[in-house]
Structure 1
Amino acid sequence: MRRLALTLAATVAVIGLSACGKSGESSSGETATAPAPAAAPEPTDAEKQALLAALPAPYNSGDLTNGKKVFAICKSCHTLVPGGANMTGPNLHGMFGRKPGTAEGYKYSDVVKAATFTWDAEHLDQWLTSPKTFMPGTKMTFMGVKDAKDRTDLIAYLKVETGYAPQ
């Protein structure tokens, strides 16, 4: 937990520092700096519930509290926030609709890089059931989430927390 907190703090610091610096010069030769962009506010519980309700069944009836609880076993290796660090596993923000093996800055196994599908709830459910069965040769050592309701809740939670936008 401390490692995750330190990683997130470092990420925030890097983002903050990257916003510093020259953004142009005035006619007098003075350097003007642009204000740092404001971080997007965390969605409220009501907004998260609205996002949940907009998901297709069965995810629209997922239990976000349980999904967060199930995600606790994932967060030692994965982050969810925009621009979050890759850890033992890649940052998962924006994963839905993205081809496996394409998160920037993460070194994937060859089998994941060679996958031809895009992440959706159905593929993620198969992956979460047993990564090594779904994609033999993956370097992910996670044994899987055996309970179907826990997987549904986890996928709903991930959709709400990773920037998924229902069509």
Structure 2
Amino acid sequence: MSNSLPQVLLLLFGSCLNQANEVAENTRNSSDNTAEVQTLTTKSFEHCPKCDVKLLVVFEQNDANIDTATLANFLCIYSPTACANNVEFKEFYIEVLFDLLAAHPNMLITELGKLEDINTKAIVKLIESPINDEYDIQDLVNSIDESVESSKEKSMVIRALTVASSK
């Protein structure tokens, strides 16, 4: 866990039936100043809050310490329909998506494979449009090619990065 985070954030997610859209952000002091994210349960995954910029901040601050459940929650908060007109969210989501792709390519691609096809395609489509040039696209392709097992999602991401490099 990183000591560089200035505060500890804890997100509390309610049950999928009653409180899926309630998100409370609590700041606590901790000896190691790390952030913890309480993840959604499997049952509430499909009901996660969509297009939530506050959650993106938490994911961005914790990208080095992310686990598979938290990454699944990150993927869950994007919806191509619900977020279509939310430019701020979409741009920030793409930035964090590239951060996670660079830091955790295998985990990200594995979690993409667990989504419904329409959601996987929508998120992969975002990879075609990087917001900034923080990452060298060819380095990302090489990293994914070397570290990720062959899969449909790996091929989709590499194709999307190839499109991104031509822009």
Taking structure 2 as the reference length, the TM-score comes to: 0.26
Between Structure 1 and Structure 2, the one with more strand by share is 2
Taking structure 1 as the reference length, the TM-score comes to: 0.26
Bigger radius of gyration, 1 or 2? 1
Q: Larger relative contact order (C-alpha < 8 A, sep ≥ 6)?
A: 1
Between Structure 1 and Structure 2, the one with more helix by share is 2
